[in-house]
Amino acid sequence: SYELTQPPSVSVSPGQTATITCSGDKLGDKYACWYQQKPGQSPVLVIYKDSKRPSGIPERFSGSNSGNTATLTISGTQAMDEADYYCQAWDSSNVVFGGGTKLTVL
């Protein structure tokens, strides 16, 4: 079965750029999306189709996908961006989630 691998944790200082990766075999041939989940809340879609932002998502969130890696980039990270982030793709008629990355802003 298809697997997506994320680093368990990433730390970033306020105002700096956070980069979260998601790796999978030939992931660049598929579409990737990203969700943000804060404690006690439902996930929120922040990036879809590799790099598109839903309405209401700040411009500091961006995405890319090439080769075996999709990347979520948060520019000018704010304290409110501290959360768990999950990548997701579609493979062989299955939804696949990455294991999640805890982003700490300190």
Partner 1 sequence: QLQLQESGPGLVKPSETLSLTCTVSGGSISSSSYYWGWIRQPPGKGLEWIGSIYYSGSTFYNPSLKSRVTMSVDTSKNQFSLKLSSLTAADTAVYYCARQDYSSSGSNFFDYWGQGTLVTVSS
Q: Is 54 in the site for partner 1 (CB under 8 A)?
A: yes
Site residues for partner 1, window 11-30 (CB under 8 A)? 30
| Contact between 31 and partner 1 per CB under 8 A | yes
User: Pairing between strand 101-105 and 32-37?
Assistant: unpaired
Q: 40 is written with which tokens?
A: 């006690």
Which residue's CB is nearer to partner 1, number 45 or number 75? 45
Of the candidate residues 7, 48, 64, 73, the single one contacting partner 1 (CB under 8 A): 48
Interaction between residue 88 and partner 1 (CB under 8 A): yes
In angstroms, what CA-CA distances link 36 with 26, 63, 66, 86, 101? 24, 13, 21, 7, 10
